[in-house]
Structure 1
Amino acid sequence: MNTTNTTADSGFRAALRRHRLQKVHTPGDFRAVAQKRLPKMVFDYIDGGAGQELSIRENRAAIEEIRLVPSAPHDVSACDMSVSLLGETLSLPIIIGPTGLASASWPKGEIEFAKAAARHGTRYVMPNASSVAPDAVARAGSGNSWFQLYPPPDRELARKWVAQARDAGFTGLEVTVDVAAPGQRHRDSRNGFVMPFRWSPGKALDCAARPVWAMKMLYHGQPTPYLQVDENKKQSEGAANQSESRKHRFTRALSWDLLKLVRDEWQGPLLVKGLVDPRQASLAVQAGYDGIVISNHGGRQLDSAISPMEVLPEFRAEVSREFPLLVDGGFRSGVDVCKAIASGATAVQLGRVGVFALATAGGAGLDHMFALFRSEIENTMALCGVTRLDHLGQHSIRRRP
């Protein structure tokens, strides 16, 4: 191999990534750059939601209706952006949440997520639909990765996946409970988006118009969920979209009894993801769960579902001040994150914005995303007159009537 040419090629690619990142001035800017780099079917899979996508719009509206109350003068010479979560300290109040098939945006995307979270002192939640082996993701995360579990219909399979996560070295487990049935994602149905890809002349032309993405996929191969259930593969045939193709892996027989089984099998930190009904908060505590992720699945499940930010204060009223509450759904800036902290969240879990950063420039895109969030959070804290995130509270915000 000609090392001189390889080094020059690597330097050229790095320069291209730096050039792309010059267009990104806030985390929300990643979306436009990613849209130019990804085929329509892949971008729509990431960007889209259920039904008429009302929930996606409501998630943003609920964040935008909150106003911050600047308090001055205060000495804000040094701002501490760290938070305590499940006995550990995160350098920032943000976590990279589980997003399926990240490798469709960037080869071995789950590995890049895990490495970036470790570099920046936070956590990455590997999705149940990862295209990379769990042990490889856990190694890349150096003890900073959690595992997402969709409880399958087969309880023995649930035990197997929990054991696999434990043996791989994941330090936390998130059990997702809001997928009793797949969301009706019309963008994916119109595009015929299913993994592995089903090709048509239109899709081939669209991919050819993104040669960099196409070459990466040709070299690394199409991503497919690693944790496949061979006996159920036939049930995926003929599905209109990716969500439908995986419906046989979900169960409608979800209950707190099943979630208690997971608690019995998993000894480490355990969170339940997908709650938006505050009445469920006390049940999660009674079932032995260590934290809650308030989430409507990014608007990808029930259309017109209430926004997590709307019910966040109600959840905080149901649990103790110290009980970990994470929230996701539409967060695009450090200002958004500070609004969530003031409303009662312990930290924010990122979804689409992380995938768009990954699609823009891989690990370099994620580093840039973290740097932007860090800068925006610190700036917001200073202008609000606080030096610690736990100084933010209901007194720091107002909601539009």
Structure 2
Amino acid sequence: MTESAKPVLASAVTADEASASSAGQQRGCASLATPSRQLARIHSIEDFRESARRALPRMVFDFIDGGAGSESTVRENRAAFERIRLVPSGPVDVSARMPRIGLFGREQALPIVIGPIGLASAFWPDGEIALARAATRHGIPFVLSNGTSIPTGKVMRAAEGRKWFQLYVPPDEGLLDKWLDQIDGEGYDVLEVTVDTAVPGRRLRDVRNGFSMPLRWTPAKVLDVALHPRWMFDMLRNGAPKPVMWEEAAASRPAATVSERNLSAISPRLDWHTVERLRARWPHALVIKGLADPRQASRALAAGVDGLVVSNHGGRQLDGAIAALDILPEIVDVVGGRIPVLVDSGVRSGSDVLKALALGASAVQIGRAAVYALATAGEAGVDRALSILREELDQAMALCGVRACSEVTRDHVRLAPWLSAEIRA
């Protein structure tokens, strides 16, 4: 939201009070509910999604909820988890269960990482700090996005434990070196390099909503914002979030959508030579995010990376791409246990986490699940979402006869019976 939009929004409040429909007023009132009241009604990540849909203006909700093209990849990510079924197992003494894992030389309380979320403060004031604090409380890492709207040092000071940073490689090598020196000096010790954004995905919800940079205001957008007063007043009080690092790298020309503007700051020349340069330059753990081709896994090993995140960017890049969970076992087999392999794209429950572990993942990264919670109730919402995932994972472990994440194998899952029958036919 630009500074010039503030008086427009202020006048829109009066217009809303005078002429908004009763349904619109109910949505606005719901968005002003206190976090504790909202959280009392939240029992799953899907509940958080619905709450976020009510709390955010449509263009903001669609920015995080939507995907590329027809969004077939978004749907396929969820369908992949539905195709996999857990195998309950008993009797097993599961009176003591331990979801802790080791990752890159350190222990963490859950096999979950909050993945990078660009412009998190567009969903809740100081959103990056809220995510970092909630992650610290639950003993898991938070990956600060290169698209952060809060300076990296400020986020670092807000949290404890391991600090991860996600990097989009900029076209300017001098700027890349500057960023690496900055985050190294601030204490970030895991660098997660995203490699699946050579060109921007065409996200039709953003196109249809006119969610561009800079934002072009229309009466419909002003009214939509006015019908979400909590979000509107938060933005008026705190100012529009801006990607502080991308501003250094992005071209000054306007872009059709937010994703196109952001990705103008990313080099399309990123290849394995660039990764090797990063490996030589970065003294800590180096992770590649966005790998979905098993043929590239061998190159990653040869380049000396310390870990992989199997991902299709949550379906936000290539419409029609294979689900990350479906390709995970092939990449795990290529890696052969030499480095950790994480997976994201579609994780919505503790059972999903267990399914991913059974297919060879060392841990999962969550994105939208954390954003829905953040938009609902800020830090308290993220805390509640992580508690839900922890409880669901613990229950799934107990019912599958699993006492530790290290015990989970492919024997704990099967392809859905109706799909197995189709394959045999």
Q: For the superposition of Structure 1 and Structure 2, which TM-score range results when normalised by the shorter chain?
A: over 0.9
Partner of 1:363: 379
Deviation at 1:198, TM superposition (A): 2.7
Deviation at 1:163, TM superposition (A): 1.2
Contact 1:162 1:266 in 2 (8 A): yes
Partner of 2:404: 388
Distance 1:389 1:230, change over 3 A: closer
Deviation at 1:54, TM superposition (A): 0.4
Partner of 2:394: 378
Q: Give the alignment partner of residue 324 of structure 1, picking from 298, 318, 340.
A: 340
Deviation at 1:193, TM superposition (A): 1.1
Contact 1:107 1:220 in 2 (8 A): yes
Deviation at 1:144, TM superposition (A): 2.5
Q: Give the alignment partner of residue 149 of structure 1, picking from 158, 161, 167.
A: 167
- Is 1:74 the counterpart of 2:92? The answer is yes
Partner of 2:139: 121
Q: Give the alignment partner of residue 177 of structure 1, picking from 186, 189, 195.
A: 195
Contact 2:249 2:265 in 1 (8 A): no
Deviation at 1:247, TM superposition (A): 3.1
Distance 1:302 1:231, change over 3 A: closer
Residue by residue over 1:65-109, the C-alpha shift from the partner in whole angstroms, topping out at 9 and shown as x without a partner, is 001111100000011011110011110111100111111100110
Contact 1:124 1:145 in 2 (8 A): yes
Structure-1 separation of matches of 2:309 and 2:55: 31
Deviation at 1:311, TM superposition (A): 1.0
Deviation at 1:212, TM superposition (A): 0.7
Structure-2 separation of matches of 1:60 and 1:156: 40
Structure-2 separation of matches of 1:322 and 1:154: 33
Contact 2:289 2:310 in 1 (8 A): yes
Q: How do residues 209-248 of structure 1 correspond to structure 2 at under 5 angstroms?
A: 209-230=227-248, 232-235=250-253, 237=254, 239-248=255-264
Q: Match of 1:293, as an amino acid?
A: V
Q: Give the alignment partner of residue 204 of structure 2, picking from 186, 207, 210.
A: 186
Distance 1:330 1:214, change over 3 A: same
Structure-2 separation of matches of 1:77 and 1:153: 54
Contact 2:170 2:249 in 1 (8 A): no
Residue by residue over 1:37-64, the C-alpha shift from the partner in whole angstroms, topping out at 9 and shown as x without a partner, is 0000000000000000000000001111
Q: Match of 1:60, as an amino acid?
A: R
Partner of 2:22: none
Deviation at 1:202, TM superposition (A): 0.8
Deviation at 1:322, TM superposition (A): 5.1
Deviation at 1:231, TM superposition (A): 7.3
Which deviates more from structure 2 when the two are superposed, residues 291-300 or residues 154-163?
154-163
Secondary structure (helix, strand or coil) at the match of 2:124 reads coil
Task: Flag structure 1 segments of 5+ consecutive residues without an equivalent.
Answer: 1-12
Partner of 2:114: 96
- Is 1:130 the counterpart of 2:148? The answer is yes
Task: Flag structure 2 segments of 5+ consecutive residues without an equivalent.
Answer: 1-30, 421-425
Distance 1:74 1:357, change over 3 A: same
Secondary structure (helix, strand or coil) at the match of 2:198 reads coil
Deviation at 1:232, TM superposition (A): 4.5
Partner of 1:109: 127
Partner of 1:30: 48
What TM-score comes out, normalization by structure 2 length? Answer: 0.89
Partner of 2:302: 286
Contact 1:117 1:144 in 2 (8 A): no
Deviation at 1:168, TM superposition (A): 1.8
Deviation at 1:320, TM superposition (A): 2.7
Partner of 1:43: 61
Distance 1:232 1:381, change over 3 A: closer
Structure-2 separation of matches of 1:78 and 1:14: 42
Contact 2:246 2:265 in 1 (8 A): no
- Over the aligned positions, Cα root-mean-square deviation in angstroms equals 1.5
Q: How do residues 267-282 of structure 1 correspond to structure 2 at under 5 angstroms?
A: 267-282=283-298
How many matched pairs? 387
Partner of 2:182: 164
Q: Match of 2:401, as an amino acid?
A: G
- Is 1:87 the counterpart of 2:105? The answer is yes
Which deviates more from structure 2 when the two are superposed, residues 20-29 or residues 224-233?
224-233
Deviation at 1:234, TM superposition (A): 2.0
Structure-1 separation of matches of 2:290 and 2:193: 8
Q: How do residues 298-337 of structure 1 correspond to structure 2 at under 5 angstroms?
A: 298-321=314-337, 323-337=339-353
Structure-2 separation of matches of 1:326 and 1:28: 23
- Is 1:342 the counterpart of 2:358? The answer is yes
What TM-score comes out, normalization by structure 1 length? Answer: 0.94
Structure-2 separation of matches of 1:16 and 1:153: 44
